[in-house]
Structure 1
Amino acid sequence: MIGEKSKQGGATITPLVYLVDDDEDFREEMVLGLSRLGLEVHGFHDAAALYRVYATRPPDIVILDIGLEGEDGLAIAAHLRASQSLGIIMATARSSIDDRVDGLTRGADAYLVKPIDLRELAATIVALNERLKRLRTPSQPPPPTPQWALVEGGWVLTDGIGHRLRLTTSEQCFLGRLFSERGKTVGRRALVEALGADVYDFNYGHLDTIASRLRRRAEKSNMLLPLHTIRGSGFAFSD
């Protein structure tokens, strides 16, 4: 069986796989089929759902559709590639050479075009996982866990492992409000109030701009920011 679990040092080993696709039928078909082949697979409909689970249990491999609402698959791939070593597979209907090149450039290890045969996807997962296992060096200590904090009066974000980011005024207000309810969803109205703006005369899309810009600036400072957009609700900052 393609997904046969292997044994290493007496322990049963199988890759943990997360699949992100907003097509419920495809997602359920792939999760069920791959699970029957012996793989541990969990499905998610968007980036926010993925990030919530990823923060507590990182996977070995992530399978991403590109055309997701909110944060698309390419943005997720670039975001995850800056973190731990993991495998990224694009599973999408976009088939042009430009799309393939863009996907691989943004961090994908493999690029599959829908309709996708279950056996091909399973074989890709197993082959990629084996390659990653050979690249990993068990003798190396695990990377340090970030300890996020706002310092210097709330104007500097630090991850506690040597990286710092000086915030703009809007970023300081935005993150300060999220830190006040760490790990919980803070509604958009509460964030607008934290910015000192009029909740009735404010372009709420500007909150997404602040969050997106903050993530990009953090990535340039080698910081993987656990800032999550909760669709229809607001934002959350959780380790």
Structure 2
Amino acid sequence: MRQEPVTGRVLVVDDDVTVRDVVCRYLERDGHEVTAAGSGEEALAAFAARPPDLVVLDLMLPGITGLEVCDRLRRTSAVPVIMLTALGEEEHRIAGLQRGADDYVAKPFSPRELTLRVASVLRRAQGVPEETAAPVSDGDLVIDPRARKALMRGAELPLTGREFDLLLFLVTHPGTVFSREELLDRVWGWNFGDQSTVTVHVRRLREKVEKDPAEPRRIVTVWGAGYRYDPERTE
């Protein structure tokens, strides 16, 4: 069955006029309402004036960097962020993900690939499959897919959209081992990509749901195979 197109308000932040214009044009052609910014300062002002549904954010910006912009957004918002950068080293990819970016696309990139990533992130953020619509609980953890909220001991967890998707997927498939490649496909909807994205998101999730992230008991590593969610054990 063909999926209905998903559209939303997208803030595109890039100091390269050519890249910015091309990205905006492709997104607008797909039906998105697009706002453009050429610096971190402009991005923060545009976000405050009218919060978008998703941010496409260049890592290397003059003045306030993309990493700092992401930091500031994450203090008050879980808006999905797709980072763009010309830097290909793993340390820079991980830096963006550790700041709370949901996805990462390296320059040079295909504008069509980026628009597909945008649609994928928005689809997951705006819609919940019927089979996973009912609340899910595991001990002191409660996940409400319709409200896209996760509570730990009654307090809401500060999850990004992609962190929420990953947690919900793992909790609803307890005891099953998934490789990073499988998680990239099942949660991100990618059939290719940087698998370190999964590693960083698992690490960030552990910091939020584990009593001791260094000794995880819920999201465990199965060496040489992947990750498995173990329901809370009764002492």
Instruction: Using structure 1 for the length normalisation, give the TM-score.
Output: 0.51
Alignment equivalent of 1:76, drawn from 69, 79, 83: 69
Q: Does 1:113 align with 2:123?
A: no
Q: Secondary structure at the match of 2:49?
A: coil
Deviation at 1:4, TM superposition (A): 6.0
Mapped to 2, the partners of 1:129 and 1:121 lie a distance apart of 12
Deviation at 1:136, TM superposition (A): 5.8
2:117 maps to 124
Which of the pair has more CA radius of gyration?
A: 1
1:22 maps to 15
2:48 maps to 55
Deviation at 1:35, TM superposition (A): 0.7
Q: Which amino acid in 2 is paired with 1:44?
A: A
Alignment of 1:23-172 (within 5 A): 23-133=16-126, 134=128, 137=147
Mapped to 1, the partners of 2:146 and 2:108 lie a distance apart of 32
Q: Percent identity?
A: 35
Q: Deviating runs (4+, > 6 A) in structure 1?
A: none
Question: In structure 2, do the counterparts of structure 1 residues 136 and 68 end up closer, same or farther at CA, with 3 Å as the change threshold?
Answer: farther
Mapped to 2, the partners of 1:121 and 1:23 lie a distance apart of 16
Q: Secondary structure at the match of 1:91?
A: strand
What is the aligned length?
131
Mapped to 1, the partners of 2:118 and 2:3 lie a distance apart of 9
Deviation at 1:68, TM superposition (A): 0.5
Mapped to 1, the partners of 2:84 and 2:146 lie a distance apart of 25
Deviation track 1:73-118 (CA, whole Å, cap 9, x = no partner) reads 0111111112122100101101111111111001110010011111
Contact 1:74/1:106 (<8 A) preserved: yes
Mapped to 1, the partners of 2:3 and 2:26 lie a distance apart of 10
Mapped to 2, the partners of 1:138 and 1:101 lie a distance apart of 25
CA RMSD of aligned residues (A): 2.2
Q: Which amino acid in 2 is paired with 1:28?
A: D
Question: In structure 2, do the counterparts of structure 1 residues 103 and 3 end up closer, same or farther at CA, with 3 Å as the change threshold?
Answer: farther
Deviation at 1:3, TM superposition (A): 10
Deviation at 1:57, TM superposition (A): 0.8
Q: Secondary structure at the match of 1:137?
A: coil
